[in-house]
Structure 1
């Protein structure tokens, strides 16, 4: 899968990397960015799910990426169709008035498909189909965003990599986890590192003393009880927590390295 993404990068002018605005650092793929830059492609960072974090946080990340790494950055919310014009204008600026092809890349669950669908509005139109590679039976299509901008009608899915926590944040399929409890506990710990426990208590409408206790309380509250030992099914609760994170039901935010924060004032 990654090989096909790299192949498409070579056939594009802009690589638009979609990030989760809650976790911009952990949803970046420096491997993809470095490959794009090495092949003389322009990189655009898109902070998606911007509705889940405060505006000042989005601005802080934008300033950080543009000032410290010289990478054009915008923030949008594809689910609320906010920022589509900003995205179009950013692509035009990077192309400097020339024609070009854009490839949207990113880890699963970052919202690439939603962005592509938003761009496929009444102003877009399909062009001819292209074979992905010699001997590859499937084809992909370019769609026309405007008179000079085209995009591949396929999200460049980056396979989730990294440690257990990073894989979860990067959209690893929860149903493929042999043991969802450990990564769920790591995710809860990360959330609590950046926000108040009150947020999770409000979302799940229960009190809890630690991450594992939260899983027990969720399972109990929802009637997920093992038939054999009559104990709460914490595996089901763990999967629920991870899915809720992927679906944007859990709101918190991280800050760029340029900003230090010692307090837990990041509740949204």
Structure 2
């Protein structure tokens, strides 16, 4: 499975801003949109219902991390929204991951598919130095990511959120091409990195084994977001290569 559409990160504060942004796209263009904490906490579940009514797929990126019982109940509610994909922090442990899956299965309508559940390994803003000094992780960043991916795989999750730089290693380590790697930190050539540290271009992400790519500011901050979206989409699908 390889997605043909980049996932657009809707890192906006409210519905009105999103309406202006989506107005730059053709109405018939069905998008894959990521709703994160900023937007969800401001607008609530109704933002998901509205975007789905417009025909878009949703990745609800709340990165749940709590005791298993709390996460299970939260996921039951999330499943009722009909999102395509959602996630937890892998550092919450395998009991929490299994509880999240149970919640999604309980909350999903019989006529709909259970949302794909991903585990966040290490954030793409993390560095080797940061995880060792601040998280006191004695292993390398790659070893930490592979360990979290293995936990997710063994406990029935569909995949992980990771840097594209780690996707190839994860799939080799798990010996599974079906395991999903959703990769933020995607930047077209020449884009500013912002607070991302481990970044690649769309075409390189594909070469490294990413299943989905997530792109935010290069599209959402552009004066011509649809043009940038098409450039990234074409690059991701191999229709354009960089020098």
Q: TM-score range by the shorter chain?
A: 0.3 to 0.5
TM-score by length of 2: 0.33
TM-score by length of 1: 0.30
Max Rg structure: 1
